[in-house]
């Protein structure tokens, strides 16, 4: 009998705890104006920079670029067939950082298998699959620049999907 009362008390305590947790979760989803303002200030703003025009590109020949600033080197590619993150009429134009995510060595493009390759410790990244790492010491995929194309065929970089090597954040 005493044992049942203890079990009942335990159940009530458990249910009360669950209700408190739910109320807490609801409370945390409602932001004060100050919190909303602080969050807006923390949002990463990347510039929109013109990189080239579609007419400047040749299939499978890399063009050197820099984004979001001159310190951050990259490559612009027209791969010849639609790929992940590709823009333009054929969905085949992509851009990546060429700074290896492992220790920042400058990578080079291999037209043979459309990969970027690091001379430092031999990490390899697949340009046809969003910069996915094929092999190596890097612990993240290659930063891909987010592109758009206007009606005149001008190609713009508007952001980046991973942290560029050597930077504590992508905030400029």
- Kindly list the catalytic residues: 102, 121
> Whole-angstrom Cα distance, residue 94 to residue 104?
20
As a whole number of Å, the end-to-end CA separation of the chain is 68
Tell me, by CB under 6 A, how many residues bind ligand FES.
11
Q: Which of residues 59-98 bind ligand FES (CB under 6 A)?
A: none
Residue in the block written with tokens 């010491």 = 137
Do β-strands 154-160 and 49-53 pair in parallel, antiparallel, or remain unpaired?
antiparallel
Site string for ligand FES, 138-167 (x = CB under 6 A): x-----------------------------
Stretch that binds ligand FES, among 15-23, 27-35, 119-127, 154-162 (CB under 6 A): 119-127
Q: Tell which residue, 72, 82, 79, has the closest CA to residue 142.
A: 72
Reported in sequence order, the residue ranges of the chain that DSSP labels E, i.e. its strands, are 49-53, 63-66, 73-78, 93-97, 108-110, 115-117, 124-126, 132-135, 144-149, 154-160
Interface with ligand FES (CB under 6 A), residue from 57, 77, 93, 100 = 100
Binding flag, residue 118, ligand FES (CB under 6 A): yes
Stretch that binds ligand FES, among 18-26, 86-94, 135-143, 149-157 (CB under 6 A): 135-143
> Would you say the C-alpha torsion 127, 130, 135, 139 has a positive or negative sign?
positive
- Minimum CB separation of residue 141 from ligand FES in Å reads 13
User: Where does this chain bind ligand FES (CB under 6 A)?
Assistant: 100, 102-103, 105, 118, 120-121, 123, 136-138
């Amino acid at each position: 009998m005493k044992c049942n009362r203890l079990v009942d008390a335990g159940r009530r305590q458990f249910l009360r705890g669950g209700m408190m947790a739910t109320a807490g979760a609801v409370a945390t989803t409602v932001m004060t104006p100050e919190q909303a303002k602080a969050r807006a200030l923390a949002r990463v703003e990347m510039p929109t920079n013109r990189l080239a025009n579609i007419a400047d590109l040749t299939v499978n020949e890399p063009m050197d670029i820099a984004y979001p600033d001159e310190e951050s080197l990259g490559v612009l590619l027209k791969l010849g067939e639609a790929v992940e993150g590709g823009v333009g009429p054929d969905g085949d134009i992509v851009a990546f950082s060429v700074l290896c995510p492992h220790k920042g060595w400058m990578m080079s493009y291999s037209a043979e298998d459309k990969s970027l390759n690091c001379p430092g410790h031999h990490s390899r990244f697949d340009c046809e699959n969003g910069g996915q790492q094929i092999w190596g010491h890097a612990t993240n995929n290659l930063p891909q620049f987010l592109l758009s194309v206007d009606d005149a065929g001008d190609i713009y970089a508007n952001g980046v999907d991973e942290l560029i090597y050597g930077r504590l954040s992508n905030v400029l």
